[in-house]
Structure 1
Amino acid sequence: MPSVMLRHNDKGELLFYVAKKDLEEVISSVETDTSDTWGGTVELSDGSKYYVDPISPRPDFPVTLRFKRG
C-alpha cells in the first residue's frame, strides 16, 4: 500500500504522486467525488487503477493517503 500525495496542478487537475516509484499522473476518474465523500477506485491517465476507502468528509488537498493497487 503506497503512500500517495494528492494535489492540484496549475491547470486544476488532481495529481497522484508516489515518491518511491517516482510516479506522477493526472487522476482521470474517481468512483465517488462529492462534497461529502471522496474515494473508492481511482483511475489514472495511464490507465492504472488504485483504491482508497471512501473518506467523509471530502479531504482538503494537498493530502497524503494510503492506496491499494486496484
Structure 2
Amino acid sequence: MKVMIRKNAAGELTAYVPKKDLEEPITDCQKPELWGGVVTLANGWRLELPEMPSDTRLPITVEARRLEG
C-alpha cells in the first residue's frame, strides 16, 4: 500500500495512508533508522518499510506492507 512518511509541525514522524484517509504518528521503530524495518503506528498497525538510504528526504511516498498481528 502507498504510505506517505513525513514530519508534522511538532517534529514527530507520521504516516498517511491515502487509500484509508488515515494519518497516525509513528510510535515505534524496529531499527534505529526508519528504513528497511517495521514501524508501529499509534492505532496499532505495523508497517514494513522498504530499504532506503538513511539520508532520504521527507516527505516521501513509499510502498509499504501492512503486517498482521
Q: TM-score range by the shorter chain?
A: 0.7 to 0.9
Q: 1:57 corresponds to which residue?
A: 54
For residues 41-65 of structure 1, what are the alpha-carbon distances to aligned partners after superposition, in whole Å with 9 as ceiling and x for unaligned? 1100111101023323342111111
> 1: distance between equivalents of 2:10 and 2:24?
13
**Residue in 2 that maps onto 1:42:** 39
Range with bigger deviation, 54-63 or 10-19: 54-63
Q: TM-score, normalised by structure 2?
A: 0.83
- Secondary structure of 1:50's partner? strand
Paired AA for residue 54 in structure 1: E
1:6-34 alpha-carbon deviations (Å, 9 max, x no partner): 11111111110011110100000111233
Using the size of structure 1 for normalisation, the TM-score is 0.82
RMSD of the alignment, in Å?
1.6
Q: Separation in 2 of the partners of 1:20 and 1:50?
A: 15
User: Where is the strand percentage greater, Structure 1 or Structure 2?
Assistant: 1
Partner SS for 1:17: strand
